[in-house]
Structure 1
Amino acid sequence: MKNIRFRRSLSLLLIGMTLTAISSCEKQTDLVPNNSFAEGDAFVTPDRIAQAINGVYSAAQAGAYSADGSNRGYPFGAANTEQQDARGEDVIAVPSFFVITYESTYLANSPNNTSMWETLYAMINRANVVIEGVKTAAASNVITPQLALQYEGEARYLRAMGHHELLVHFARPYGQTPDASHLGVPYRTVGINTPQKVEENLAQGRNSVKECYDKILEDLTFAETNLPATYATANIKVTHATKGAAIAMKTRMYLHMGNWAKVIEEGNKIVSASAPFTSSIGGYTLTASPDGPFASNYGNTESIFSIENNTNRSSGTNGSISAMYSKGPGRALIALSPIIWNAPFWKANDLRRTLLASNDATATVAPRAYFSNKYRDQATFTDANPIIRYAEVLLNVAEASARVNGVNDRALALLNAVRNRSVTTVADQYTLANFTGPNDLISAVLNERRIEFLAEGHRWSDIHRLSTDAVFTTGGIPAKVSYANTTFASWNATTPYTGIRGVTQIPAADYRFVWPIPQSETDNNSVLKGQQNPGWN
């Protein structure tokens, strides 16, 4: 008989055969379960089925932290953003929550990487159970076939998103081998809700990276085909998957694959031919001010898909993005690094320096560092976690266009659409004359990503995908600044940072560049134990 560690090791937190009851999807998603019911009863009425699909969003917002079972925003309520940022060099981990991730001293049983694996697969499993359930419900005429396809599309969108998050942490990037035949992660598509299925799952090993991306794109294309362009309720427009969200996510996937033509093809579905760029699907457009998506988390035109946190359920003071990133009354455990703050490509008069960041000075205490101001509710932690914004789609297409067509008007216009709302001094704005060749323009787009998505958890994904790029690789995990080696003078927007980088670089070839498959998994799964990432055996 397997013990409870075995069950958790596979992240099958639903194998107790219950599905959390969540309120109707045309209201604010109630992330607090009012009750639960057996899986066999979950798909017998339209209302319960709606509650079951909302349960997948609930699993995305808050899984159990492996160290103590608490809600710390794993996988997508907050932790994906915090862990991805802490793996890069553009923030500083202020002791002590994220230092293990920041300094790459994690082990196969460290709670942060273990929790990411376990909660992502728990969410994926819940999505798979729901996919099977809605098909059965449609066959029994409990819901219409059209609604069943929509619900399946929502679940497959989340399933795709979860598997990609696993890939960027636990597998080498797509370009590591010419045909991407190296090991990815197990792509799980069967709901594991019986003891027999648990045993069968132990025989599943890692798919190749190519197989994973193919399956991700298959899921996202299904979602694009079957999801609505929008919903009637404001919050739901942003916090439930839509046709536009599936397309936007496909531009990200193709970017990671280095398939520039497909980035452009998908992007053109939701990016108009010329400025001001708008989408005919979902009505997405950039907000006039760079703080627009954060001043109104759930009511702006730029947020395509975000994970909801609300007053009833959030990751609180020990996990929420507002607590971790923000100065007092936040906990200020993730500071902005002088590496990015002092970067010459970030103009000193850029509005994002004042609208989206601030130092921690008070009337009685001198400033110590700069922190993000994107997440503003330090009282009840209701800030949405932004997963993908329209600004990303524009920059995805801009990069792909520059890689395919060199220096060109469209790539420049897309870059400027994002940048010029913050860089308002005309003399500082880009023209074609600023770029002598494609690499200059691509570099400008990549630099813009570091500024625009600072404190949104994108930096690690870019380090990961670019690690095999002949021109733009960082060479691995860049050297980082230790908080202990800084004073407030370290932050100077007019002078590049030349101080101590107390956390040394880790080359891309080093085993620590990818996380180990958790011990909680390999202890009970002999197939994955034999497929552990090299160096972690």
Structure 2
Amino acid sequence: MKKTIKNINRSVLAGTLGILILVTSCKEVTDLQPNSSFSEESAFSSPARVALAMTGVYSAAQMGVYTSGAIERGYPFGAANTIQQDARGEDVIAVPSFFGITYEGTYGINTANNTAMWETSYALINRANVVIEGVQKAGAAGIIPAALALQYEGEARFLRALAHHELLVHFARPYSHTPGATHPGVPYRTVAASSPSAVDANKSQSRNSVKDCYDKILVDLDFAETNLPATYAAGLKVSRATKGAAIAIKTRINLHIGNWAAVVTEGNKIISGTATFTSPIGGYALTATPNGPFITASNLTNSESIFSIENSTTRNAGTNGSISTMYTKAAGRALVAISPIIFNAPFWLPADLRRTSLTATDGRGYFSAKYPDFVTWTDANPIIRYAEVLLNVAEANSRQSAAPSPQALALLNAVRNRAVTTAASQYTIASFATGAALTQAILNERRIEFLAEGHRWGDIHRLVNDTPYSTGGIPSKVAYGNTTIASWNPAVPYAGTRSVAAIPYSDFRFIWPIPVSETNTNPTLKDQQNPDW
């Protein structure tokens, strides 16, 4: 029977199949517009159609369907991963009432946000799997060169790894939860659900252990590193997966595992130099100023952004989902504010340039200024920057030394000193009595540097069992209604009310439930639901 490749609207196990095929009017644009569907047999029948199929995987990463009504709000990686991970932490405030369910931890098995994250992530994974199978056949048949088939497979496996990790931090306990990480992760799906028998195979698949998931993520990323190019033409060097992007994500994955030596090994592949660090692969380097990666016109061409999801004037998460409108003060919608918890933190110095260039006030609160295009919503969603690689490796170096590590300090200062420009305020090795104190400073720096980029939940999740750096669970938070503009004061640590109660790590709400849309059609996962949900 002829199989047609169509847009996936729901989870793989809801019976949806295939991938969206896309076309473009410009070869240097990743974010493309939909064309008609092709049969699966013809989708990989020519080099042009194979290229369109690969673009469809990026499309799924940028803009999956939020509800059955075909609403698009940037799930999983066009915007939603950033907003949802931030809203799960304490360093932003959900201004009533758009993201209140995530912010307050009142989600359940039917909640739209976590349901959409599950469904669109697995839709992305399925598109990746369809393309992996398709390009393997196209390469073997000589339709495309073997090297190009391996490149496309590397791109698809990179995105598959990224999606599985996003699922792990929301729906599974962290790697450290059990010895050997033997507790349930998520189903690591590698079979394309492009036929009824393949759907049945996915439907019967159990949750892989967390360790197995992380092992498979690293296998996918190793393949991507081996087969991806170091860079592309200027318009694609950030929006398409590269060798450097695979390495960079591996530093993040190994940080979650707690494999400090592996973080350093991977990071050193793309770190050279001493005080001014650059990458021999891809030419990555920090921009001269903290706001360099967030200038809309150069989102996809600056030296620091390693991999970002492109948004365009014709394809974006819109007024109800884009990072540009949610984080930005009026005339943006200003629905995600910076919390005075981080704004007033003593380790974020008042003269730090990130306060003046990357925050803004509307006279009522403070908001991020990282995503300024609130009119056409074209700001790219940053997935990983060179600054993160430097801080990942800094932390891993520091973790392995009882005394302050000079290399960890140099990496930290590379990021911090472009914003803290007064010599008297900059760190020296004498600033830290122990390696643990330096590690804490690196973790503090992450909260400043990656504010409003969706990093806070990942750090809460991976550090929750890591004394002395643990928050003990989801921290208590500030309700916007309990603040005035005076609540934001970098000279005075915030001591106001935190009326959004903390959720301890032992509470079942620390992780999200598998959505009912999945468990209703998947008896295997229904029996493996997270406890107490």
Match of 1:452 among 444, 449, 474: 449
Which residue is 1:187 aligned to?
Answer: 188
| Structure 1 residue 8, shift from structure 2 partner | 6.1
Distance 2:32 2:416 in 1: 36
Gap regions ≥5 residues in structure 2: 1-7
**How high is the TM-score relative to the length of structure 2?**
0.96
* Contact 1:22-1:29 within 8 A present in 2 as well: no
Q: Do the aligned partners of residues 280 and 106 (structure 1) sit closer, same or farther apart at CA in structure 2, a change above 3 Å counting?
A: same
Distance 1:42 1:136 in 2: 11
Distance 1:393 1:492 in 2: 30
Which residue is 1:387 aligned to?
Answer: 383
Distance 1:263 1:12 in 2: 35
Q: Do the aligned partners of residues 24 and 186 (structure 1) sit closer, same or farther apart at CA in structure 2, a change above 3 Å counting?
A: farther
Distance 2:304 2:13 in 1: 35
* Contact 1:23-1:54 within 8 A present in 2 as well: no
Aligned AA (1:522): T
Distance 2:391 2:453 in 1: 15
Aligned AA (1:219): D
Greater shift in the superposed pair: 434-443 or 266-275: 266-275
Provide Cα deviations, 1:265-315, integer angstroms capped at 9, x if missing partner.
000000114121000000000000000000121121000000000011001
Query: Does the alignment pair 1:433 with 2:433?
Result: no
| Structure 1 residue 484, shift from structure 2 partner | 0.7
Match of 2:474 among 474, 477, 480: 477
Distance 2:395 2:27 in 1: 37
Which residue is 1:354 aligned to?
Answer: 356
Distance 1:438 1:142 in 2: 55
Distance 1:358 1:389 in 2: 22
Partner of 1:92, secondary structure, is strand
Partner of 2:190, secondary structure, is coil
Which residue is 2:271 aligned to?
Answer: 271
Query: Does the alignment pair 1:259 with 2:256?
Result: no
Query: Where in structure 2 are the equivalents of 1:25-174 lying within 5 Å?
Result: 26-66=27-67, 68-174=69-175
| Structure 1 residue 25, shift from structure 2 partner | 8.8
Q: Do the aligned partners of residues 24 and 311 (structure 1) sit closer, same or farther apart at CA in structure 2, a change above 3 Å counting?
A: closer
Distance 1:489 1:69 in 2: 42
Aligned AA (2:485): F
| Structure 1 residue 438, shift from structure 2 partner | 1.0
Distance 1:22 1:394 in 2: 37
Which residue is 1:374 aligned to?
Answer: 370
Partner of 1:210, secondary structure, is helix
| Structure 1 residue 197, shift from structure 2 partner | 1.3
Partner of 2:34, secondary structure, is coil
Aligned AA (2:278): T
| Structure 1 residue 20, shift from structure 2 partner | 1.7
Distance 1:17 1:507 in 2: 40
Aligned AA (2:398): A
Query: Where in structure 2 are the equivalents of 1:321-332 lying within 5 Å?
Result: 321-332=323-334
Greater shift in the superposed pair: 384-393 or 522-531: 522-531
Query: Does the alignment pair 1:410 with 2:394?
Result: no
Greater shift in the superposed pair: 196-205 or 464-473: 196-205
* Contact 2:17-2:193 within 8 A present in 1 as well: no
| Structure 1 residue 34, shift from structure 2 partner | 2.7
* Contact 1:9-1:521 within 8 A present in 2 as well: no
* Contact 1:19-1:38 within 8 A present in 2 as well: no
Distance 2:512 2:9 in 1: 19
Partner of 2:38, secondary structure, is strand
Which residue is 1:316 aligned to?
Answer: 318
* Contact 1:475-1:508 within 8 A present in 2 as well: yes
* Contact 2:224-2:243 within 8 A present in 1 as well: yes
* Contact 1:61-1:74 within 8 A present in 2 as well: yes
Aligned AA (1:402): S
User: 4+ runs of 1 displaced by more than 4 Å?
Assistant: none
Provide Cα deviations, 1:331-355, integer angstroms capped at 9, x if missing partner.
0000000000000000000000010
Which residue is 2:219 aligned to?
Answer: 218
| Structure 1 residue 37, shift from structure 2 partner | 1.4
Aligned AA (2:374): Q
Partner of 1:388, secondary structure, is strand
* Contact 2:32-2:59 within 8 A present in 1 as well: yes
Aligned AA (2:148): L
| Structure 1 residue 35, shift from structure 2 partner | 2.5
Query: Where in structure 2 are the equivalents of 1:338-353 lying within 5 Å?
Result: 338-353=340-355
* Contact 1:24-1:47 within 8 A present in 2 as well: no
Distance 1:23 1:266 in 2: 35
* Contact 2:57-2:127 within 8 A present in 1 as well: yes
| Structure 1 residue 68, shift from structure 2 partner | 3.4
Q: Do the aligned partners of residues 45 and 398 (structure 1) sit closer, same or farther apart at CA in structure 2, a change above 3 Å counting?
A: same
Aligned AA (1:253): I
Distance 2:192 2:28 in 1: 27
* Contact 2:398-2:405 within 8 A present in 1 as well: yes
| Structure 1 residue 18, shift from structure 2 partner | 5.5
| Structure 1 residue 9, shift from structure 2 partner | 5.8
Q: Do the aligned partners of residues 13 and 392 (structure 1) sit closer, same or farther apart at CA in structure 2, a change above 3 Å counting?
A: farther
Which residue is 1:4 aligned to?
Answer: none
Q: Do the aligned partners of residues 25 and 175 (structure 1) sit closer, same or farther apart at CA in structure 2, a change above 3 Å counting?
A: farther
Greater shift in the superposed pair: 108-117 or 272-281: 272-281
Aligned residue-pair number = 523
Q: Do the aligned partners of residues 411 and 354 (structure 1) sit closer, same or farther apart at CA in structure 2, a change above 3 Å counting?
A: same
Q: Do the aligned partners of residues 11 and 18 (structure 1) sit closer, same or farther apart at CA in structure 2, a change above 3 Å counting?
A: closer
Match of 2:529 among 521, 532, 535: 532
Q: Do the aligned partners of residues 483 and 11 (structure 1) sit closer, same or farther apart at CA in structure 2, a change above 3 Å counting?
A: farther
Greater shift in the superposed pair: 194-203 or 262-271: 194-203
Partner of 1:387, secondary structure, is strand
Distance 2:166 2:248 in 1: 16
| Structure 1 residue 408, shift from structure 2 partner | 1.6
Gap regions ≥5 residues in structure 1: 1-6, 361-366
Provide Cα deviations, 1:415-444, integer angstroms capped at 9, x if missing partner.
000000000111110001110001110000
Provide Cα deviations, 1:204-243, integer angstroms capped at 9, x if missing partner.
01000000000000000000000000002x2210000000
| Structure 1 residue 24, shift from structure 2 partner | 8.2
| Structure 1 residue 27, shift from structure 2 partner | 1.9
Aligned AA (2:316): S
| Structure 1 residue 89, shift from structure 2 partner | 0.1
Q: Do the aligned partners of residues 368 and 378 (structure 1) sit closer, same or farther apart at CA in structure 2, a change above 3 Å counting?
A: same
Identity %: 66
Q: Do the aligned partners of residues 156 and 474 (structure 1) sit closer, same or farther apart at CA in structure 2, a change above 3 Å counting?
A: same
| Structure 1 residue 164, shift from structure 2 partner | 0.2
Query: Does the alignment pair 1:466 with 2:468?
Result: no
Distance 1:277 1:101 in 2: 37
Partner of 1:316, secondary structure, is coil
* Contact 1:14-1:126 within 8 A present in 2 as well: no
Aligned AA (2:241): A
Distance 1:316 1:271 in 2: 37
* Contact 2:479-2:500 within 8 A present in 1 as well: yes
**How high is the TM-score relative to the length of structure 1?**
0.96
Distance 1:313 1:169 in 2: 26
